[in-house]
Amino acid sequence: MSEKNEQAIRPNERAVEMREATDAGLRFIGTIRTPWKGRDTCPRQGRLDGPECRLVLDPIWHAALDGLAEYERIEVLYWLDRSRRDLITQSPRSDGTTVGTFALRSPVRPNPIGTSLVRLVRIEAGEVVVCGLDCIDGTPLLDIKPDRCAFTPKAPPKPGTR
């Protein structure tokens, strides 16, 4: 699908004239490598049994990964950089019925932040290997957090079970 078609509006969808940007000072901390080269092949939501993807961090952030390997599930935040940002209603089924942008997890939103709860597979040399993502190869990485519903690190192995 061409980039122009990806930005096209469907029947009954509405766009607004956006206000000038307020600079939130976001800093991309790395790049996400995935098997998907375009939106047409990318899953709508990731699956924990999906293919391995890599969070490739800028080396200045490598030390910030200390302790992360203790967690089985982590939250990944990313910038869905190929999205238009001005739609207030959307027609995800392309059937003319619309719903408000904030009632959707669509990548098309005023600030196109994607979030996924993923399975942490391993960490190797500043690269975090995960399963459960749903973004195009090269998507900018915003942040990584431990699963907010499970703050406790994995229980240490019971004596004698190793």
**Closer of 62 and 140 to ligand SAM (Cβ):** 140
User: Is residue 39 at the binding interface for ligand SAM, with CB under 6 A as the rule?
Assistant: yes
CB-CB contact of 119 with 73 (8 Å) = yes
Residues 101-160 that bind ligand SAM (CB under 6 A): 105-107, 114-116, 134-136, 139
Total chain residues near ligand SAM (CB under 6 A): 19
Q: Is 129 exposed, middle or buried (0-12, 13-18, 19+ CB in 10 A)?
A: middle
CA atoms of 91 and 161, how far apart (whole Å): 53
CA atoms of 54 and 74, how far apart (whole Å): 13
- Two structure tokens written together for 156: 């240490």
Which positions from 57 to 86 touch ligand SAM by CB under 6 A, shown as an x/- string?
Answer: -----------------------xxxx---
Q: Is 70 helix (H, G, I), strand (E, B) or coil?
A: helix
**Closer of 42 and 130 to ligand SAM (Cβ):** 42
Residues that bind ligand SAM (CB under 6 A): 39, 42-45, 80-83, 105-107, 114-116, 134-136, 139
